[in-house]
Amino acid sequence: MALFPFPSVRSGQREFLKDARDSVSSGMHLIAHAPTGIGKTAAALTAALEYGMKRGMLTLFLTSRQSQHRIAIETLRLMKEQSKEEIVVVDIIAKQSMCPRGEALRLFPGEFHEFCGIEQRSRRCRYATGDNDGLIENLMHEILHVDSLIRLATDSGVCPYKAALELGEVADVIVCDYNYLFSPVEDTILARLGRGLDELIVIVDEAHNLPDRIRDQLSGSITEFDLKDAIKEAKKLKGDANPRLNHHLKGMTRIFDALGKKAPSRGEITLSKEDLLDRLDNILKERLDPLSIDEFLELLAGAGREILKEGAYRSALSEIAAFLEGWSETTDASVRIFENQERPSISHKLLDPSILSREIFDQIHSSVLMSGTLYPEMTRDLLGIEEGRSILTSYQSPFPKKNRLIVAVPGITTLYSKRDETMYRKIGDRISTVAALIPGNLAVFFPSYMIMESVIPYLNSKKRIIREDRGMRKEDKDKVYDLLLSLKEQGSGILTGVMGGSFAEGIDYAANALDGVVVVGVPLSPPSIEVKSLIEYYNRKFGRGNLYGYTYPAMNRVLQAAGRCIRSEDDRGVIVLMDDRFGMRKYLDCFPSDFRVIITDEWEEMIEEFFDSF
């Protein structure tokens, strides 16, 4: 079965393809640092399908990015064309995002789940009762991106999500988000397809994101505003539920008042599970008809369903119920926090993603975890992958070394103790100099919006400055990207953003859209209770608390941002690191072996010579 989609295997890709084939055939987990340009998507899919299709196994290609969905689908189309094999593929995104009903987009995810169930049971959703048979037959012979699948299903009067799941029952490959596998059992795609974990070959794209995605998914928080919204909803209910819920929810606001007196202003404190449950239990006993916490949860959840039945688009009551359930169930590998900010919050934060992922990796046939900025040993440890079943690898960048210059500018730092107007002016002056030396577009990524806003007034350049703002919608980001591409031919621009943001990680800059990237500072997380708890937990478990909980995550964001300007073998660009800490051994050791940083006072001359050589 010749499934590889291209006429030849490029340098670097050959080694990755061999390792992926060996891992899949021997039931191992390949954890690979594989830079952009290796061709890892084609290699991983080839290895998985060559083995899996002969044995009736399902390949899950998991990715958190819509752009990578499209790349996977295009690769699979080429594989089908090259091999003449019938490959059944389905591309799935969130059920809510696939819903053709406009009102679905206005709901929070948990509320949509309730809304969808009620609409189906009441048979008010015409798409849920549509006939799928003819559509599924057609979809089996086409490899479609999810947008096309949604359009075809909607035109046929069929629920796109339902059609995708039916196709998934006979699929060789499903392209979907992490949460379709890495979720509580009842929420995974396997529960809907009737498949066992041992029938799976899993490819995890951008796998450096997976541990935090699992942690975030199994964490939760509420604010006083959530309680006030829930109180307003409770007033709409009929019968006994109204006064009971109203009383207990108002009582819960007193918990925020009491904790606010214990916590410092604009600060935070650690809570125990009992700090909330005991206070809640006392509140539930204040009436003549007391409730247990479990009974209160049932009352909240039922009331939330009633609100949604009445046609509401969301239910704060449902959200409170989900939070309290999570608080009660959360394991000891978590930290519970009260934050006394402008909007005080109570939260539970999962520290150990392996609580969910270990069992999954133990049971699936094999996997390929890949990323251009991945620390293989750390990824294995955090996800709880068995050491005896894991293969840790790192590959060199396939791009010509002459196409990339990496320099560190001395005399700059974003250390908290060194932040002042003098330093911000110095950073602005250095960026302005870099912008003058670089012929095309420049992207500048900062550790935070606060530092970005402090430096921008000191930028002095003829190039147009485009800013990433907090809370930008997808359409706004698309406009910024399109503007950047147009500026490439019209005098060029400077994009300013933050490390960890969409422009530093979630966007592939095509056609050498960037000639340079400046990384300002080391984006170390503030010393919050959550960060300190992560460090302590990883110290106890691995003896590597600072590395796993603090240093590696920050340097991963640096590498993601730095990698934006070299996306193909024809691209060329300069990466400028601005912080004296980039010269320290503990940070230099975090860079891949082919990420060679030159620390020099002659960085201006080197940048000028670099572009003169092309």
pLDDT in tens, 163-202: 999 999 999 999 999 999 998 765 678 878 888 999 999 9
Conformational region of residue 62, where left means phi above 0, alpha means psi within -120 to 50, and beta covers everything else: beta
pLDDT for the residue 357? 97
d(Cα 383, Cα 80) in Å, to the nearest integer?
A: 33
* Paired strand residues for 348: 220, 336
What's the first-to-final CA gap in the chain, in angstroms? 43
Residue 484 C-alpha from the chain's centroid: 24
SS3 content of the chain, % helix, strand, coil (to 5): 50, 15, 35
What's the average model confidence in pLDDT over 46-68? Answer: 93
Whole-structure pTM value: 0.92
Torsion of CA 185, 186, 192, 197, to 10 degrees: 10
How do residues 463-515 score in pLDDT, each as one tens digit?
Answer: 999 999 998 888 888 898 888 888 887 779 999 999 999 899 878 888 788 99
Give the domains, in start order, of the chain with CATH numbers: 13-216+353-394 (3.40.50.300), 220-329 (no CATH), 401-612 (3.40.50.300)
What mean pLDDT do residues 149-169 have?
92
Q: Which of 79-83, 375-379, 600-604 comes out lowest in average pLDDT?
A: 79-83
**With contact defined as beta carbons under 8 Å apart, do 566 and 572 qualify?**
yes
Residue 198 has φ and ψ, to the nearest 5°, of: -70, -10
Q: Is residue 311 over pLDDT 70?
A: no
Residue 124 amino acid letter: R
Q: Which residues contact 575 (CB under 8 A, 6 or more apart)?
A: 404, 405, 406, 407, 516, 517, 519, 562, 565
Alpha-carbon span 23 to 17, nearest angstrom: 10
Nearest to 53 by CA among 149, 170, 165, 143: 170
CA dihedral of residues 47, 50, 55, 60 (deg, nearest 10): 50
**C-alpha distances in angstroms, 66 versus 69, 70, 73, 98, 101?**
5, 7, 11, 13, 21
Distance CA 265, CA 360 (A): 42
The SS3 of residue 414 is: coil
Q: What mean pLDDT value characterizes the chain? A: 91
pLDDT for the residue 399: 85
Q: Rounded to whole angstroms, how far apart are CA atoms 303 and 243?
A: 12
Whole-angstrom Cα distance, residue 516 to residue 432?
Answer: 13
- Asked if residues 191 and 185 have their Cβ atoms less than 8 Å apart, the reply is yes
pLDDT tens for each residue of 418-461: 999 999 999 999 999 999 999 999 999 999 999 999 999 999 99
User: Would you tell me the crossing angle of helices 316-329 and 224-234 to the nearest 10 degrees?
Assistant: 130
